[in-house]
């Protein structure tokens, strides 16, 4: 009964989730800084620093060096949908759970932006990376993520495809992990795992970013378990051929169907609840 009520709440909130942030995004994104070198970090025009750490859940977006997967107004791949996606999503988390996540403080909106070799990463038990196909980590960043995962961290990879316009981002992600955790095995998730029933009962067929497949194939979900043991903690989840961040960003605009956006919100809520309870 509780889930039914909360499901209705998500439908209503999905309609209201378009914020001033989404309007800001369309207005100034194309005037971001010029491209830099492969070791430089892009700074989104709407970034005003990270929220002061106070123990609350804070959405952590992972940045990577360079300007791969550049998309005009949205910058390189890791900053796509920032900050509207996390602003809308954290409002959903605030309104339908007992959590009190960071949403906004002055000009700081939605999330912290963290590098993988930054010790501050360990303040955030859940992290999110958009467009991992543009991620080319160095040794320190690989070591940082490895340590983060083995000490209890959870990371979500989103907004990437396989064999799309000459990019093989899913292959690239697996190659990176083979360097970082060579014994780790990716497992395709069926929808029956605990993460898909941690708050809402998720229908994976409904949790797509648009009316048709985002990539060349319908979305699939892949994970890595601690010690490769499905009875243990899921450390990593990859939304292959899907882009739930884009659904969050545009959920109130009509660009993404409301029903689809609601399902991707549910998926994100489940990821957070699962990670914080495992």
Rounded CA separation 157/187 (Å): 14
User: Residues 225-244: what's their mean pLDDT?
Assistant: 96
pLDDT of residue 215: 58
Write out pLDDT tens, residues 114-155.
Answer: 999 999 999 999 999 999 999 999 999 999 999 999 999 999
pLDDT of 266 over the 70 cut: yes
pLDDT of 182 over the 90 cut: yes
Q: Which residues contact 43 (CB under 8 A, 6 or more apart)?
A: 33
pLDDT above 70: percentage of residues in the chain:
84
pLDDT of 175 over the 50 cut: yes
Rounded CA separation 216/149 (Å): 30
pLDDT of 212 over the 80 cut: no
Half-sphere exposure of 186 (CA within 13 A, CB side): 17
Name the E strands within 116-219.
Answer: 126-130, 154-160, 162-164, 167-168, 187-188
Write out pLDDT tens, residues 1-47.
Answer: 344 444 444 444 444 443 334 333 333 333 334 577 889 999 999 99
Average pLDDT, the chain: 86
Alpha helical stretches, state H, 97-243: 139-150, 169-180
Q: Does 257 or 232 have the greater pLDDT score? A: 232
The token duo for 275 is 């990670």
Rounded CA separation 185/116 (Å): 21
Rounded CA separation 211/213 (Å): 7
* Contact (Cβ atoms closer than 8 angstroms) between residue 40 and residue 267: no
* Contact (Cβ atoms closer than 8 angstroms) between residue 268 and residue 242: no
Q: Does 258 or 175 have the greater pLDDT score? A: 175
Q: Which of 68-82, 158-172, 175-189 has the lowest mean pLDDT?
A: 158-172
User: Residues 200-213: what's their mean pLDDT?
Assistant: 71
Rounded CA separation 50/35 (Å): 23
Instruction: Write down the residue that tokens 């409002």 correspond to.
Output: 91
pLDDT band at 179 (very low <50, low <70, confident <90, very high): very high
For the chain, counts of helices (H) and of strands (E)? 7, 11
Q: Does 37 or 196 have the greater pLDDT score? A: 196
- The span from the first CA to the last CA of the chain, in angstroms, equals 24
pLDDT of residue 210: 57
Structural domains in the chain, sorted by start:
2-277 (3.40.50.12140)
Q: Which of 3-7, 35-39, 222-226, 231-235 has the lowest mean pLDDT?
A: 3-7
pLDDT of residue 34: 54
């Amino acid at each position: 009964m509780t889930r039914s009520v909360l499901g209705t709440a998500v439908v209503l909130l999905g309609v209201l989730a378009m914020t001033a942030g989404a309007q800001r995004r369309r207005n100034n994104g194309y005037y971001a800084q010029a491209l830099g070198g492969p070791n430089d970090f892009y700074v989104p025009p709407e970034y005003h620093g990270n929220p002061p750490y106070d123990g609350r859940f804070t959405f952590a977006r992972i940045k990577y060096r360079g300007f791969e997967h550049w998309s005009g107004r949205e910058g390189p791949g890791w900053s796509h949908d920032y900050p509207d996606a996390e602003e809308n999503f954290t409002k959903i988390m605030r309104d339908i759970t007992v959590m009190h996540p960071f949403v906004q403080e002055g000009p700081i909106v939605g999330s912290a932006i963290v590098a993988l070799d930054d010790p501050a990463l360990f303040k955030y038990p859940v992290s999110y990376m958009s467009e991992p196909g543009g991620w080319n980590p160095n040794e320190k960043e690989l070591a940082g993520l490895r340590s983060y995962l083995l000490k209890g961290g959870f990371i979500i990879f989103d907004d990437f495809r396989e064999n799309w316009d000459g990019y093989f981002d899913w292959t690239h992600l697996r190659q990176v992990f083979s360097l970082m955790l060579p014994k780790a095995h990716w497992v395709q998730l069926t929808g029956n795992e605990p993460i898909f029933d941690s708050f809402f009962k998720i229908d994976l067929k409904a949790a797509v970013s648009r009316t048709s497949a985002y990539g060349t194939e319908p979305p699939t979900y892949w994970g890595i378990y601690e010690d490769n043991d499905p009875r243990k903690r899921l450390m990593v989840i990859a939304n292959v051929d899907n882009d739930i961040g884009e659904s969050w960003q545009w959920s109130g605009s009509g660009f993404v169907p409301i029903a689809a956006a609601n399902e991707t919100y549910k998926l994100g809520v489940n990821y957070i609840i699962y990670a914080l309870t495992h």
